[in-house]
């Protein structure tokens, strides 16, 4: 089969991009629309290999400089413009705290490593909600670009060795694809984010498209451009219909499948759809090849670039049904893509002046992308400018008894510094390396702080106390990992769960005794709301009644700590801006938009988390266990809590205090612990 342009393929691109758009719009009836990306991957593998082998057929070799120059001219201009304009748009619509995490998102997009960046972010407990990043969709483009860098080298080598035809090349692609598919299946059981975003776990779809290209070329030599002799229009029409229908079913919410399984089936359906539309006379191919469908497919790259930031902005401006967002984003995104294609992409791609300068084009494009990433994006997104499109400050209703301090203006805040004020990195040790737990060395008593990110946020206070009072401070801190023995959070990332098991499995029985503790302090996020049922598990991964699990684990841990001879002080659940264990307004975003402190006050909830009652129950039964409440210390103006105390920001995000406020209130925290009567002389 000799390669020639087929508008039906562009029609499939149209299907792919609008499936993704519908999914991102939040339409329930497109709950699996993300498989549009899977279709894109298969199409990319099919098209890029056909283009390269067509060049080999015509010229006898593959020009790497020509290939890379075409890729740069095709992809980089639009991507750079979208990143720049999106950054400027979010300066108008987002506050500085919201924009700060976007700097690395934008940089990774311009350097085409977004997928690995978001994999790392998924394993970072303190990362912001990456699913609301306007640059999130660049993850798939990054995988394609990484493929475009390496795959031509393999093709060029095979051409040089004269092994780019026949069964060898087809078999090689099948083997490489199978290896990637195995990686997908394995990682899907360990870390869903790693399986979804990883280059190695998604290459099987690109290789599937490339293998289809080889199969058609080799089997279709006796039929020219129309495919193999046995590939009749009737057979092609049937396969195309099945493939496209399967894609529609997979894109809907009709079938309950895991993300990995849906992607694998989408690959199979995509191969069928592509192969089917190549049969001349296929009704599905005829429909996909209509001028409008083909045109939208030709600008699908730009539609994909624009649709996601457009959706995010529309979601912020309009509180309406997903189908309205879908229609508006389709109209706006398509219009921007058409404009970009006409005035930017097509002129650069078809420029006769640039054509002779292949390597300079590649170098120039990469340089522009890097300069924008490191010299332009940071000052734009980090500009200290209030959003022009003002949103609600997000504060709670203020009771009539509110303090006069609520009228105080919001002080100057270094939002960058506050957003990074997380406390020390997670730190833990094993029985054969107990020094790894040492945070502050001292000559006095041994204090051990155990917990999750709540312990991490309080660690700066205990560091300061250790330095001032001379006690030796050990920590066993793993974000998203409860302090109670035998309790684990299966909502945490795979990496985080592995760290939790490493830090806690043997901690109370083997590690803690070696630390020779004089006082153990424990704290964690409450995790006793209904949404945690079935997600707090025991050491074997089994679930049960959440309240029973937490009570038994608290009692068991108190026994284990008691066996070391040390008293246990449990810090009761620390309130966030939404109360305990619930969503609340982002405190830094609120302060960035507010005029007075009263715009961002937090009202403490009346009810305490259930787990606090378990802490109190265990403390009542034992003389060596006590509980401490730090909420009155960081909220001294109840019944409202000020977001800033003495020019120190109280909350860094919805669930965590700033390290600076814990340091500022460290003496009160220690005094409350001393009042338990359990601190050794």
What tokens were used for 483?
């302090």
What tokens were used for 132?
């609301």
User: What is the SS3 string spanning 258-269?
Assistant: CHHHHHHHHHHH
Q: Return all residues near 174 (Cβ < 8 A) that are at least 6 apart.
A: 207, 211
Q: Is 68 within 8 Å of 362 (Cβ atoms)? A: yes
> How far, in Å, are 42, 218, 349, 403 from residue 213 at the CA level?
10, 9, 24, 72
Give the mean pLDDT of the chain. Answer: 91
- Minimum mean pLDDT range among 144-158, 403-417, 617-631: 403-417
Q: What is the pLDDT of residue 402?
A: 47
Predicted confidence (pLDDT) per residue in 500-546, tens digit: 999 999 999 999 999 999 999 999 999 988 899 999 999 888 888 99
* Predicted structure pTM score: 0.84
Predicted confidence (pLDDT) per residue in 255-304, tens digit: 889 999 999 999 999 999 999 987 666 788 889 999 999 999 999 999 99
- Read off the pLDDT band of 403 (50, 70, 90): low
Q: Is the pLDDT of residue 386 over 90?
A: no
> How far, in Å, are 241, 275, 286, 491 from residue 283 at the CA level?
8, 13, 5, 46
At 505, which helix (H) or strand (E)? Answer: none
- Minimum mean pLDDT range among 42-56, 216-230, 642-656: 216-230
Q: Is 23 within 8 Å of 37 (Cβ atoms)? A: no
Residue 597 exposure: Cα atoms within 13 Å on the Cβ side: 25
The C-alpha angle with vertex 565 and arms to 562 and 570, in degrees rounded to 5, equals: 50
The C-alpha angle with vertex 591 and arms to 589 and 592, in degrees rounded to 5, equals: 65
Between β-strands 472-477 and 438-440, what pairing exists: parallel, antiparallel or unpaired?
antiparallel
Q: Is 27 within 8 Å of 326 (Cβ atoms)? A: yes
Q: Can you list the pairs that 608-611 forms with residues at least 24 positions away whose Cβ atoms lie under 8 Å?
A: 608/572, 608/573, 608/580, 609/526, 609/528, 609/529, 609/573, 609/580, 609/581, 610/526, 610/528, 610/547, 610/550, 611/526, 611/527, 611/528, 611/550, 611/554, 611/573
- Read off the pLDDT band of 130 (50, 70, 90): low
- Minimum mean pLDDT range among 1-15, 84-98, 262-276, 492-506: 1-15
Q: What is the pLDDT of residue 668?
A: 97
**Would you mind telling me the total number of residues written for the chain in this entry?**
681
Domains of the chain (ranges, CATH numbers) = 7-381 (no CATH), 426-573+609-629 (3.40.50)
- Rounded CA-CA distance 186/348 in Å is 42
Q: Is 134 within 8 Å of 103 (Cβ atoms)? A: no
Q: What is the pLDDT of residue 74?
A: 94
* DSSP letter for each residue of 413-445: --HHHHHT---SPPB---TT-GGGGEEE--SS-
Question: Nearest to residue 158, comparing CAs of 199, 203, 214, 206?
Answer: 214
Residue located via tokens 């280059």: 199
The three-state secondary structure class of 58 is helix
Q: Is 13 within 8 Å of 297 (Cβ atoms)? A: yes
Q: Is 378 within 8 Å of 103 (Cβ atoms)? A: yes
Q: What is the pLDDT of residue 225?
A: 46
- Rounded CA-CA distance 237/50 in Å is 22
What tokens were used for 289?
């090849």
Q: What is the pLDDT of residue 165?
A: 77
The C-alpha angle with vertex 135 and arms to 129 and 140, in degrees rounded to 5, equals: 105
- Minimum mean pLDDT range among 109-118, 228-237, 422-431: 228-237
Question: Nearest to residue 269, comparing CAs of 472, 16, 21?
Answer: 16
> Most confidently modeled of 91-95, 428-432, 565-569?
565-569
Mean pLDDT computed over 647-662: 95
Burial class (CB in 10 A: 0-12, 13-18, 19+), 675: exposed
């Amino acid at each position: 089969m000799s390669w020639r342009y087929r508008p039906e393929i562009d029609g499939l691109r149209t299907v792919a991009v609008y499936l993704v758009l519908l999914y991102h719009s939040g339409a329930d009836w497109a709950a699996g629309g993300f498989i549009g990306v899977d279709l894109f991957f298969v199409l990319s593998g099919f098209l890029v290999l056909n283009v390269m082998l067509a060049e080999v057929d015509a010229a006898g070799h593959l020009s790497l400089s020509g290939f890379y120059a075409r890729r740069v001219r095709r992809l980089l201009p639009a991507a750079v413009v979208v990143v720049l304009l999106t950054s400027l748009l979010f300066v108008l619509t987002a506050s500085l705290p919201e924009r700060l995490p976007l700097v690395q998102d934008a940089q990774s997009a311009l350097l085409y490593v977004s997928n690995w960046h978001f994999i790392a972010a998924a394993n970072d407990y303190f990362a912001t909600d990456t699913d609301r990043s306007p640059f999130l969709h660049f993850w798939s483009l990054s995988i394609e670009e990484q493929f475009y860098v390496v795959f031509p080298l393999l093709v060029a080598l095979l051409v040089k060795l004269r092994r780019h035809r026949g069964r060898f090349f087809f078999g090689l692609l099948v083997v490489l694809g199978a290896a990637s598919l195995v990686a997908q299946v394995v990682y899907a059981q360990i870390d869903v984010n790693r399986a979804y975003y990883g280059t190695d776990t998604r290459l099987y779809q690109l290789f599937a498209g490339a293998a289809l290209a080889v199969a058609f070329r080799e089997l279709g030599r006796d039929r020219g451009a129309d495919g193999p002799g046995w590939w009749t229009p009737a057979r092609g029409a049937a396969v195309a219909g099945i493939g496209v229908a399967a894609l529609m079913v997979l894109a809907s919410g009709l079938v309950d499948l895991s993300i990995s399984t849906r992607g694998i089936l989408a690959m199979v359906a995509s191969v069928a759809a592509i192969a089917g539309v190549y049969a001349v006379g296929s009704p599905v191919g005829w429909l996909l090849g209509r001028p409008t469908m083909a045109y939208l497919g030709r600008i699908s790259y730009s539609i994909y670039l624009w649709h996601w930031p457009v959706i995010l902005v529309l979601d912020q401006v309009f509180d309406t049904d997903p189908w309205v967002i879908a229609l508006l984003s389709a109209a706006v995104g398509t219009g921007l893509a058409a404009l970009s294609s006409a005035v930017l992409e097509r002129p650069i791609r078809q420029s006769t002046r640039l054509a002779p300068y292949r390597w300079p084009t590649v170098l120039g494009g990469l340089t522009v992308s890097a300069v924008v990433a490191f010299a332009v994006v940071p000052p734009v997104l980090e500009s200290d400018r209030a959003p022009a499109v003002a949103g609600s400050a997000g504060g709670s209703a203020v009771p009539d008894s509110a303090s006069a301090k609520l009228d105080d203006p919001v002080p100057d805040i270094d939002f960058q510094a506050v957003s990074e004020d997380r406390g020390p990195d997670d730190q833990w040790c094993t029985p054969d390396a107990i020094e790894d737990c040492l945070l502050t060395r001292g000559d006095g008593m041994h204090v051990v702080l155990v917990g999750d990110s709540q312990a991490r946020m309080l660690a700066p206070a205990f560091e300061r106390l250790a330095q001032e009072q001379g006690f030796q401070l050990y920590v066993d801190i793993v974000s998203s990992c409860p302090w109670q023995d035998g309790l684990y959070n299966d909502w945490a990332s795979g990496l985080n769960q592995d760290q939790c098991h490493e830090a806690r499995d043997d901690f109370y029985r083997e590690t803690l005794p070696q630390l020779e503790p004089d006082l153990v302090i424990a704290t964690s996020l409450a995790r006793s709301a209904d949404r945690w049922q079935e997600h707090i598990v025991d050491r074997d991964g089994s679930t049960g009644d959440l309240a029973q699990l937490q009570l038994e684990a608290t009692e068991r841990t108190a026994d284990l700590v008691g066996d070391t001879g040390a008293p246990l002080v449990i810090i009761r659940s620390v309130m966030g801006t939404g109360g305990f264990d619930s969503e609340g307004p982002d405190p830094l975003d609120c302060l960035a938009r507010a005029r007075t402190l009263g715009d961002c006050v937090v009202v403490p909830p009346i009810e305490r988390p259930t787990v606090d009652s378990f802490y109190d129950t265990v403390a009542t039964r034992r003389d060596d266990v006590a509980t401490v409440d730090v909420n009155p210390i960081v909220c001294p103006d109840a019944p409202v809590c000020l977001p800033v105390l003495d020019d120190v920001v109280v909350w860094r995000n919805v669930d965590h205090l700033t390290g600076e406020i814990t340091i500022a209130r460290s003496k009160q925290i220690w005094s409350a612990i001393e009042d338990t009567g359990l601190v050794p002389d």
